[in-house]
């Protein structure tokens, strides 16, 4: 409702306030847990239970969470989110100049480090509190609320703060998404349809824009609420579903950006479209296969005997944290790739197919002599790609990234 009344500015201000609530809540829960149980005990218990295995350097793409999935896959996920995502671009464009937008982008780095650190510590705390007596829950997403209710429920007001944090984090993401969907729907869909049917822009008045921007977020909010009902039927964690969708879709879009930024020799729009379509089909097959073949990793062992005065030691196996095959089909084997790599897969397929198609087009003699605009090429790539530039483009190779008046 506040998007309908206050527009994008209301969404930005409330998102900032809501994320402050989330950060504060995580910090409070972690501090209270450390005061109650102690850092050393939590750390040693997590280490003995193999929850702090930081030297997992397996190159197997089926490994869900290891060094390479989190570094390679995580970097591409972040690139897809912060370099080509429509909602993120809208926030950058709301800044007064390029330098301010770059500062906002750099600010995400320490904030993400803080958020991930809080997640890891909170996971260690929950493991310590339930070690030897793991609760039987319908979903893994219920573990954190259950932990707060059973272990920290004696603190007055903490559960209310936690609920406020949940709603704040959800609303913060949704408001940005609704703004982005509204802008894309209005500019790329509604305006084009009206131009095609009417042949002119008589419907595209200021009043039409105002009403559309007001009611479209409400429509997307109702649609999201309807789709949220289906979440309870998914046995996969919500965070994994979110990463799968953002990774696959974001990787495709980021791949198109990479083709434009780093491949000035690709001048055929057909080659770019082929790369995008190939990445789209590959990601759809990859994601749908995880649900069709019920792809699940072999999790680390949990003890539920609830016996007191027992010490539990586990022996590491390479099968842990890796997807187990339940079918010998090619589709099933392909779907075992970790969801952390979805964005990486989309980018690589996009780049490879676009370059191959451009090579075929060149071999067939259908060359495009259009000049490459140096402003659309990545700045640090220009000196290395001079051979593919036209003469009137080479003089702009040393063009500064930021204009003097930016």
* pLDDT reading at 43 higher than 70: yes
Please, what is the angle between helix 269-292 and helix 238-262, to 10°?
160
The per-residue pLDDT for 279 is 94
* pLDDT reading at 204 higher than 70: no
Percent of the chain with pLDDT over 90: 13
Confidence of residue 203 (pLDDT cuts 50, 70, 90): low
* pLDDT reading at 278 higher than 90: yes
Average pLDDT over residues 352-373: 83
The per-residue pLDDT for 393 is 47
Contact between 78 and 115 (Cβ < 8 Å) = no
The per-residue pLDDT for 296 is 78
User: How many whole angstroms from its chain centre is CA 85?
Assistant: 9
* pLDDT reading at 392 higher than 50: no
Confidence of residue 390 (pLDDT cuts 50, 70, 90): very low
Question: What are the DSSP calls for 246-294, one per residue?
Answer: HHHHHHHHHHHHHHHHH-TT---HHHHHHHHHHHHHHHHHHHHHHHHTT
* pLDDT reading at 200 higher than 90: no
* pLDDT reading at 332 higher than 80: yes
Tens digit of each residue's pLDDT (9 = 90 or more) over 52-90: 877 888 888 988 888 899 899 989 988 998 888 888 887
Mean pLDDT rounded to a whole number for the chain? 79
Other Cβ atoms within 10 Å of 116 Cβ, number: 12
Positive or negative: CA dihedral 277, 283, 286, 288: negative
Confidence of residue 138 (pLDDT cuts 50, 70, 90): confident
Interatomic CA distance for residues 106 and 179, integer angstroms: 22
- Choice among 2-16, 23-37, 84-98 with the minimum mean pLDDT: 2-16
* pLDDT reading at 201 higher than 60: no
Q: Which residue has the higher pLDDT, 310 or 159?
A: 159
The per-residue pLDDT for 226 is 79
Percent of the chain with pLDDT over 70: 80
CA 43-139-323 angle, 5° bins: 75
Average pLDDT over residues 285-289: 88
Tens digit of each residue's pLDDT (9 = 90 or more) over 232-277: 676 666 767 777 888 888 999 999 999 988 888 888 889 999 999 9
């Amino acid at each position: 409702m506040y998007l309908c009344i206050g527009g994008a500015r209301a969404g930005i201000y409330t998102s900032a306030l809501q994320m402050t609530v989330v950060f504060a809540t995580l910090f409070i829960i972690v501090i209270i847990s450390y005061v109650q149980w102690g850092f050393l005990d939590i750390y040693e218990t997590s280490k003995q239970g193999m929850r702090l295995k930081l030297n997992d350097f397996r190159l197997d793409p089926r490994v869900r969470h290891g060094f390479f999935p989190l570094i390679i896959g995580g970097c591409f996920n972040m690139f897809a989110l912060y370099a080509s995502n429509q909602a993120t671009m809208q926030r950058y464009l709301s800044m007064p100049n390029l330098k301010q937008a770059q500062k906002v982008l750099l600010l995400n780095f320490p904030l993400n480090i803080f958020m991930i650190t809080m997640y890891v510590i909170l996971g260690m705390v929950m493991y310590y509190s339930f070690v030897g007596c793991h609760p039987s829950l319908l979903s893994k997403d219920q573990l954190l609320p259950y932990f707060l209710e059973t272990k920290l429920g004696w603190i007055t007001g903490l559960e209310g703060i936690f609920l406020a944090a949940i709603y704040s984090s959800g609303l913060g993401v949704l408001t940005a998404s609704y703004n982005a969907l509204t802008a894309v729907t209005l500019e790329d869909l509604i305006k084009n349809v009206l131009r095609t049917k009417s042949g002119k822009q008589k419907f595209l008045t200021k009043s039409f824009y105002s009403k559309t921007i007001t009611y479209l977020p409400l429509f997307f909010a109702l649609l999201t609420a309807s789709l949220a009902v289906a979440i309870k039927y998914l046995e996969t964690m919500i965070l994994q579903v979110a990463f799968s969708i953002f990774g696959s879709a974001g990787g495709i879009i980021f791949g198109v950006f990479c083709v434009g930024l780093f491949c000035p020799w690709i001048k055929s729009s057909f080659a770019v479209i082929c790369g995008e379509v190939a990445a789209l089909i590959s990601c759809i097959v990859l994601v749908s296969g995880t649900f069709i073949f019920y792809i699940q990793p072999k999790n680390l062992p949990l003890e539920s005997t609830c016996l007191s005065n027992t010490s539990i030691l586990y022996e590491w196996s390479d099968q842990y944290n890796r997807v187990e095959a339940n079918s010998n089909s090619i589709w099933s084997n392909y779907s075992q790739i970790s969801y952390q790599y979805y964005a990486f897969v989309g980018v690589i397929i996009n780049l490879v197919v676009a370059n191959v198609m451009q090579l075929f087009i060149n071999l067939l003699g259908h060359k495009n002599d259009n000049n490459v605009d140096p402003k659309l090429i990545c700045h640090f790539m220009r000196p290395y790609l001079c051979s593919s530039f036209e003469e009137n483009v080479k003089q702009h190779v040393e063009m500064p990234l930021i204009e003097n008046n930016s």
